[in-house]
Structure 1
Amino acid sequence: MAVPAAASVRDTNVYRPPEVTGLVDLLDRQVRERPYARALVVTGERVHLSYRGLAGLADDVAARLGRTGLRRGDAVGLICANTAEFVVALLGAARAGLVVAPLDPALPASQLDARLRGLGARAALVGPSVVDAVLPVPVWPVRVDVSRAGTAAVMLETGDVADVSGAARELSDRDALVLFTAGTTDRAKMVPITHSSLAASVQGICATYELSPADATVAVMPLFHGHGLFAALLASLASGGCVLLPERGRFSASTFWDDMRAVTATWFTAVPAIHEILLDRSERESPGPRTPPLKFVRSCSAPLNTATQRALERTFGAPLLSAYGMTESSHQATSEPLPQRGELKQGSVGRPTGVEVRVVDRNGRACPVDVEGEVWVHGPTVARGYLGDRDATSSVFVDGWLRTGDLGTLDKDGYLSLTGRIKNLINRGGEKISPEHVEDILAGCPGVAAAAVFAVPDAVYGQRVGAAVVLREGEGVGPAEILRYCRDRLAAFEVPDRLEVVAALPYTAKGGLDRKAVRARYAP
């Protein structure tokens, strides 16, 4: 049962998404029509960099890369924080016809080595904080100097290139990016994203939230993952908006609201863990009357419990829109609509945005309305498979459909609700338990800030339910009260058999719960 996509901008006759074909022409319209409008706000002094200035820097990088011996379709790594260097190197490499693989600069050297080798990158463009890295490919430092007046220059040191090898042989100049999955249980897989898939994703995000030159945001999420890259950076630049890159290139809760005020932000997007941090600090660091009114706030990349959502909306004074996507779908696949464009449904991640969504049973047959099954996605944003991994490709990509591994239901209006992940299910004596569902209940308990649920080995039942919870500062709730709260809201077999109060939970670089680390730390 294919679900019709959310109402498109062609139906509304009000909003038209930007006409882009990929990374290469992402800035072109703005450079023609609004060359001196601000594209980025950078450095601790919050200097404005115009669209014309940004495009000039990207063209400079493209010209220098074109003289290195690299060929169109070759892959390069990009290891950089959320700084001007990341944006300029990304756009410059794209304009040179190269395929860019963004990597987390905080990864251990062994993982950077493995990813660059597996990909077959011919060089690595690195930001100022990574210049001393020892990598298996030539290291090319990138530095952008921006004056207080907004003038800028780029320095790029190039040299020899590595031989073409590894998965890069499967790439061509139709590809824009190679993104690494953020899974915590298996080695990261390499996902090729074409320029056309990137354009479709950016257009879908812009259309969903009606982004325009009047909008501005702060780059909360890292740009080396799809969430920050597609939703915050690329969609903003394509639509003519402005993005503030925080000082030192990473999110800081202590400066967040000052950053929002400095750029006159109209929206931002983040994972639930960051929303929780902002919510916890709101009593002493309220957004304040000088904060510009927000059009909306977006949450993606992990489940957001409904109690937190309601509290965030009260605190921010704006609708909180939940979205859903994966690296393999070029980020966004569904989202709640703007309030004037559709209904906001509690617990939903919204309707499809430019793709089709199915919920299917074990035999691949469409499930009836409101019946749980696996979520499948099909459309122009879905990748063709994984690089260098035919077995994983054949099991995850079926006749153009992406088998997400997520469990969910579709209602009669085509709204998707997620209920868990297949691989995370706990089998307690034959009863299948979704840890995400139990976490949602735990997070709704007064005094609980965050929760992680995991399987505990058991000789009788096979597995039992374990939970680790973080309490809000100053709250007096204890395990007995939390379990009592759970018994009133969960089936008896879902109530945690073991509950531990902890100081903090481990998270991935993307901001999702690190379930592998949770199991290693609490399950034995």
Structure 2
Amino acid sequence: MSAPSSNGQHALSLFYILSEQAARVPEQVAIAAPGRSPMTYRHLLQRLIRMQEALHSLGIGRNDRVALALPPGPELTVALLGVASTAACIPINPADEHLDTHLSHMHVKAVILPFGEKNRAHADVHRHGISVLELTPVPDSEAGFFALTGHTRFAPAAQELPHDDDVALILPPADTGPYARPLYVTHANLSLAAWQAAARLKLDISDRCLSLVPPFQSHGLVAGLLASLIVGAHVVCPPDFQVDTFFQWLEACRPSWYTAEPSMHEAIADDAPQYDERIRRCPLRFIRSASGALPPRVTRALERIFRAPVIDAQGTTEMVGQLGEPYGHNNTLSAPRREAWAAASPAAVNE
């Protein structure tokens, strides 16, 4: 696997890369969700093009900033990809207590919010006079299919695609201290970080990721979502994590791996004994952890329960990815790592 070769000023843009996958594997599943029909790469590209057209018509173009404050799920995923394919996307956890501060400092031109919900996010957005676009899921359609409604006061924008060195994402700071600054990530930064993650995990088109971390976090965005899409694999984007529904998703979606935060892994390990038969029916190639240190006892428990190696990734939001060896511990599926794990537990190798 190698990164895409340079092809003008768009070769490393998210839209260009997803367009390549739609041409290469059009009927391969790209986005899935529990209880929903999957969305193929061909249909994902169609959705991105339609979202570009809608945003351009509303006066939002390549150098503008659009925030998303949407709950986890496939609609958040497709909306994020659509905005980043058009303008600079600011994904915000709708429960973020600093939402009002983010909006006041980040020069946002429009915000996409869930249709019909009148919550604190709506109040904050209206207080700043920012244009609101509302997203309505279409539950009986493909995962990630939605309607986007609303209006702005702006003239239509030029229909120009983002360049490799344009900002694709602006990640809000975790706090509002005097030194807190948002993180600006270009298309080139983002795509190369995704290629690195895919290479470390040895992902290919046959993989299926169950990403328990929403893409408004760099963990879920790079390793969970983009590392899969960049190789033509598919991603399951569930709603908010609940430990009991995880085991339902495991059987319904049959992932080859899943990624989660340490607290999620700990809850899964604690609940796993009552789902032993289901776990045996749904083998995993590996498990990935990030967004904090995974306690060794949880690592050992997960490897025993799922009979698969645990990749404990370490990195920083500022790097938009994980640290390479030797800084990370068990953070790659390299041959020595797999061989050492297999030697310790030969019956657990899950090819």
RMSD over aligned Cα atoms? 2.8
Q: Residues 207-237 of structure 1, C-alpha deviation per residue, up to 9 Å, x if partnerless?
A: 0011111001112012111001111111111
What CA distance in whole angstroms lies between the structure 2 residues aligned with 1:151 and 1:333? 32
Task: Tell me: CA distance 1:56–1:146, structure 2 relative to 1, closer, same or farther (3 Å).
Answer: farther
Contact residue 178 and residue 190 of structure 1 kept, 8 A: yes
1:218 match: 210
Is 1:234 aligned to residue 226 of structure 2? Answer: yes
Shift of 1:146: 4.9
Shift of 1:326: 1.1
Percent of aligned pairs sharing the same letter:
29
One-letter code aligned to 1:147: D
Shift of 1:324: 1.1
1:120 match: 107
| Unaligned ranges ≥5, structure 1 | 1-14, 163-171, 347-524
Is 1:337 aligned to residue 337 of structure 2? Answer: no
1:184-263 equivalence runs, <5 A: 188-246=180-238, 249-263=239-253
Shift of 1:305: 2.2
Shift of 1:65: 0.5
SS of residue in 2 equivalent to 1:214: coil
Task: Tell me: CA distance 1:259–1:63, structure 2 relative to 1, closer, same or farther (3 Å).
Answer: same
Contact residue 79 and residue 102 of structure 1 kept, 8 A: yes
**2:52 corresponds to which of 37, 46, 62:** 62
Q: Residues 121-180 of structure 1, C-alpha deviation per residue, up to 9 Å, x if partnerless?
A: 0110123475652212121112242535x4985321232258xxxxxxxxx971100012
Contact residue 78 and residue 126 of structure 1 kept, 8 A: yes
Contact residue 75 and residue 144 of structure 2 kept, 8 A: no
What CA distance in whole angstroms lies between the structure 2 residues aligned with 1:325 and 1:130? 35
User: Which structure is richer in relative contact order (CA contacts within 8 A, separation 6 or more)?
Assistant: 2
SS of residue in 2 equivalent to 1:268: strand
Is 1:178 aligned to residue 170 of structure 2? Answer: yes
| Unaligned ranges ≥5, structure 2 | 6-10, 155-163, 342-351
How many aligned positions are there?
318
Task: Tell me: CA distance 1:304–1:189, structure 2 relative to 1, closer, same or farther (3 Å).
Answer: same
Shift of 1:269: 1.2
Task: Tell me: CA distance 1:323–1:344, structure 2 relative to 1, closer, same or farther (3 Å).
Answer: farther
Is 1:86 aligned to residue 76 of structure 2? Answer: yes
One-letter code aligned to 1:277: A
Task: Tell me: CA distance 1:197–1:305, structure 2 relative to 1, closer, same or farther (3 Å).
Answer: same
Task: Tell me: CA distance 1:142–1:326, structure 2 relative to 1, closer, same or farther (3 Å).
Answer: same
Task: Tell me: CA distance 1:316–1:128, structure 2 relative to 1, closer, same or farther (3 Å).
Answer: farther
Task: Tell me: CA distance 1:185–1:213, structure 2 relative to 1, closer, same or farther (3 Å).
Answer: same
Shift of 1:341: 5.0
Task: Tell me: CA distance 1:84–1:288, structure 2 relative to 1, closer, same or farther (3 Å).
Answer: closer
2:346 match: none
One-letter code aligned to 1:139: V
TM-score, normalising length: structure 1: 0.56
More helix by share: 2
What CA distance in whole angstroms lies between the structure 2 residues aligned with 1:254 and 1:287? 15
Contact residue 18 and residue 203 of structure 1 kept, 8 A: no
Task: Tell me: CA distance 1:309–1:342, structure 2 relative to 1, closer, same or farther (3 Å).
Answer: closer
Q: Larger Cα Rg: Structure 1 or Structure 2?
A: 1
What CA distance in whole angstroms lies between the structure 1 residues aligned with 2:94 and 2:275? 30
Is 1:52 aligned to residue 42 of structure 2? Answer: yes
